[in-house]
Structure 1
């Protein structure tokens, strides 16, 4: 058996561990329950992957993020490490097959969501597996004080009863001291070894920039820093608009949000990862598992809803250790707008109950029925039928999803139905005339026996994997076949898939989870107050404020944030500024923005001096908003 460092070199091509990865690995290998707080970019996955590879048996990884599970499984498989993920949308038969593979196929990693542990038969199968380590990723979800509490995480502790000698490893990237303590309590960690890496990112300058014209500010930033950038926005519409505007202005950009197909997401992400475009404009659906070392700037166009998310997103800058910048653009009415978008649309108990009842009625689910039934679901159509506000309804659905009542896939899906119109003899002739298509079409024939007889729903991802081509190639081949009238092909787009995880019980269901709803709403309000305090404080180092929020005190000022830089500047008197402006305007008429940039002033300094000059009749302004000397 190779040692930890040899495995790191063999599979990940790294020569050394990051602090404190090696200590965490050693703790796990010695059989200790372990808690690890490793901020964004700290390499959490290595901490359970290496010890799991060193021990006989299989590592059980519990994670709430389907996209991250898929990403980690794909990365392990690329390294010829056998891994499986039990994600949503997998049938009972497929689940049985996958668990059989785990038991008899020498697999090293089984990824699943905490909700899967609520199925008794799944739990029974897991109990029979040779589990060597239980890793709980995003462990803050186990705490009611965490920023993404999921009650299903509370059931993880039951595994202690079945695997009393198997170490638990709880991992999180952002948790306050209260949440850290709660994680250890809720998971019943026995005398846990605790490892914390400081939240300090000394190479990141946190900047809060006042900006009425945010697009203009983004242009300035991207001109100054030409390296890769992430721009975080709140919704899909802003993704498209800002990416389009930046492309028009000559900045190569793409976009990423939860409404794209898997193929579109992969294509757009790949173009950014490969430095084909400078900027990716994204919602917070983007980022989990992304480790691009040369990101120079992370720009937030709107306020984040909590400092945990902000810290994680900002932390995607500067992972190569070079100087990088997390820039939050602050508009004059952003606090009021964000409050309306985050807090005023939180569902209360009566609204949650109404949405739940109407959701069951929408799909004609009877009382005591519905468990494990799945449906294509369009949120806008549902809201339109019952005249529900969209944002508030989405929050209610998301809460029901977090509680495990329903599963709502966040990913856009494309349903493809196919029927071959040729008989088997004509199909052989078609394949001989189109040899480039043969591998994909024979894969379909082997996988779907009834495709000659009836319209058959295809799993594009499965076909693409078996044929070793992209999903785009599969669709292109089938469309070419359709044009030759050799098949019927129907593609249908769905916003999401909704699965009912419990039988319909109305009052019983809502009453059981109502206390969590109230706790969530109170927590979100408290977290948003912390965001407002963070951006409003004009005197305290931004890095110090973030570190204090996460429980690190007595830290030094960073010298690199917007507040520290302002402190270093020698204050200019309004009279001195006014004289400098007069000097500029003697050469040509200028806008306030041009004056601000040429004299390296703040917006407030520029506006105050210009008003003073206007009031004293020293300058005038024309209809093109240019100032000139009278």
Structure 2
């Protein structure tokens, strides 16, 4: 049998393992349950792919990321290694054929999502496979204290009963001590070997800048570093708008978010991967499993939800070992927006109780009844009927699912995608000729500004409510627009299935699980507070703040973050800055940004000097925001 190093050299063309890959592989080969915490870019896949090749049978890989599964299967197949992925959209007869191939075709790797394990017949088929190793990627998804909990991950432990002698290898790129312990408990790892790699990335300069004009600062950053970059935003609307703004400034840019079709995601990703565009503007739907070594700059234009997400996204820079930058831009109003976006959608006990009782009423379940009853469910219709906010309601239902009170059969998606296929001036002309349709059309255009450029996820209930029309009227208008070839519309069945797992007891049910809800909400609040601390702490090296969050002690300052550079920079004498500003204002009036450009001085020094000159009444500020000599 070939050694681990020989397998690595033969198939992956690497001369040696990275720390601690070899020790993890040795643990797996000794059939020990193993936990590996390896930061982004640490080479986690090697840890199960190499031993999977060395042992008889097939390695089962559980992953939540379809793009990553496809990418890894493609790479293995290109190396001549037989691998299969059971991704979404595959018909049952195809799945049966694929599992037959795994059983009789000498395949080495079977990738599947944890949701697949919820199908009993698939689990029964997997039981008959010669499984040699079970690798759980993104293992933090099993923990309710993790930043990306997925209820389906709790089903993975069933595989322990099916394969009691097969080792589990749990892999994650970001986990606090609490999450690590929870992963070990939830997956029932027996006396696991634990391996952790330092979170410290010596080549990444963590930068935090407070600015009122984020686009201007982003422009400066991208001009200074013209290599591949990612700009992260928190919503789809900002995604499209920022990409357009960058293009108007002369940059090449594309965008990526969860609402794009698979075809558009692939196309836009390839444009960036092949460096036909410099900047990928994306939500956090982009990046998992994307391995591009020469990313120079990651810029976050909005505050992230937690430092786990931030560290993973920032860690996509500088994987080639060259110096890279992880920049977070913020301003005081960001705190209000972040609290509304991340904390305002958390259901409190009273709201959860209301949602559960209304859910039971919605399906006409009497008190003390309902166990094992199953119903088709439309989230939009439910929220419209009871005037509930959609995201907060969805989070409530997810919580009820996690606690086993109900089972949600699938993720929710918008029912319709819609795109205008005639120019905007023609739409305006149509409205002038059809004034009865104008109110609904204007509501659509205001709600979905990108609806001319691409198929856009569309919520009929929302448009009906905003335009003060019935859903039936909106539906009729859409059908008319479709017939006239004004829009292209595709309808999808988005009804989920809800199964009630216990009898209806209203408050008694919610009281039993409320302590878990309070703990979850407290965790989310603490996570956001940690993000704010990272941004606002002006007395500590940014790398040190990050390392401390993940339980590491970093003795020396990194020397390259925004704090370290600011600390080491020579402080300019305020009078010399003031003199330079007065010289410039003798030429003509300027705004603060132009003054900063012309003086080539740090922004904070310029602002401080301008305030001092205003107080001394040496200068004044005009109504057009230009500074002028008095």
TM tier relative to shorter chain:
0.7 to 0.9
Matched, 1:161 2:177: no
Taking the TM superposition and a 5 Å limit, the aligned residue runs for 1:230-629 are: 230-352=230-352, 383-396=383-396, 399=399, 405-409=407-411, 493=490, 497=494, 499-500=496-497, 502=499, 507=504, 511=510, 516-629=516-629
Name the SS of the counterpart of 1:590 in structure 2: coil
Residue 32 of structure 2 is matched in structure 1 by: 32
Alignment deviations for residues 517-547 of structure 1 (CA, whole Å, 9 cap, x no partner):
3332221111111111111110000101100
CA distance in 2: counterparts of 1:276 and 1:113, whole angstroms: 32
State whether residues 88 and 407 of structure 1, in contact with CA within 8 Å, keep that contact through their aligned partners in structure 2. Answer: no
Q: Offset at 1:202?
A: 0.7
Name the SS of the counterpart of 1:628 in structure 2: strand
CA distance in 2: counterparts of 1:45 and 1:412, whole angstroms: 34
Q: CA distance change for structure 1 residues 365 and 515 in 2, over 3 Å: closer, same or farther? A: same
CA distance in 1: counterparts of 2:519 and 2:247, whole angstroms: 43
CA distance in 2: counterparts of 1:286 and 1:401, whole angstroms: 26
Q: Offset at 1:498?
A: 5.3
Q: CA distance change for structure 1 residues 363 and 50 in 2, over 3 Å: closer, same or farther? A: farther
Q: Offset at 1:62?
A: 1.8
Alignment deviations for residues 26-52 of structure 1 (CA, whole Å, 9 cap, x no partner):
221222221111101111111111111
Residue 474 of structure 2 is matched in structure 1 by: none
Taking the TM superposition and a 5 Å limit, the aligned residue runs for 1:186-225 are: 186-225=186-225
CA distance in 1: counterparts of 2:83 and 2:347, whole angstroms: 39
Residue 127 of structure 2 is matched in structure 1 by: 127
Q: CA distance change for structure 1 residues 315 and 554 in 2, over 3 Å: closer, same or farther? A: closer
Q: Offset at 1:411?
A: 7.6
Aligned length: 553
Q: Offset at 1:158?
A: 3.8
CA distance in 2: counterparts of 1:68 and 1:506, whole angstroms: 40
Q: CA distance change for structure 1 residues 10 and 356 in 2, over 3 Å: closer, same or farther? A: farther
Contiguous gaps of at least 5 residues in structure 2: 418-486
CA distance in 2: counterparts of 1:147 and 1:319, whole angstroms: 23
Alignment deviations for residues 574-623 of structure 1 (CA, whole Å, 9 cap, x no partner):
32321221233334432211222344444443223212212323223345
State whether residues 207 and 327 of structure 1, in contact with CA within 8 Å, keep that contact through their aligned partners in structure 2. Answer: yes
Greater mean alpha carbon deviation, residues 501-510 or residues 551-560? 501-510
Greater mean alpha carbon deviation, residues 235-244 or residues 53-62? 53-62
CA distance in 1: counterparts of 2:317 and 2:255, whole angstroms: 17
CA distance in 2: counterparts of 1:403 and 1:598, whole angstroms: 60
Report the TM-score, using the length of structure 1 for normalisation: 0.80
Alignment deviations for residues 347-405 of structure 1 (CA, whole Å, 9 cap, x no partner):
2355446556777998999956776x888x7x666644543223323434555676782
State whether residues 365 and 504 of structure 2, in contact with CA within 8 Å, keep that contact through their aligned partners in structure 1. Answer: no
CA distance in 2: counterparts of 1:198 and 1:119, whole angstroms: 38
Residue 424 of structure 2 is matched in structure 1 by: none
State whether residues 407 and 498 of structure 1, in contact with CA within 8 Å, keep that contact through their aligned partners in structure 2. Answer: no
Q: CA distance change for structure 1 residues 277 and 384 in 2, over 3 Å: closer, same or farther? A: farther
Alignment deviations for residues 303-349 of structure 1 (CA, whole Å, 9 cap, x no partner):
11100000000101111111111110011211121011110111235
CA distance in 1: counterparts of 2:573 and 2:384, whole angstroms: 57
CA distance in 1: counterparts of 2:353 and 2:71, whole angstroms: 35
Report the TM-score, using the length of structure 2 for normalisation: 0.80
Name the SS of the counterpart of 2:75 in structure 1: helix
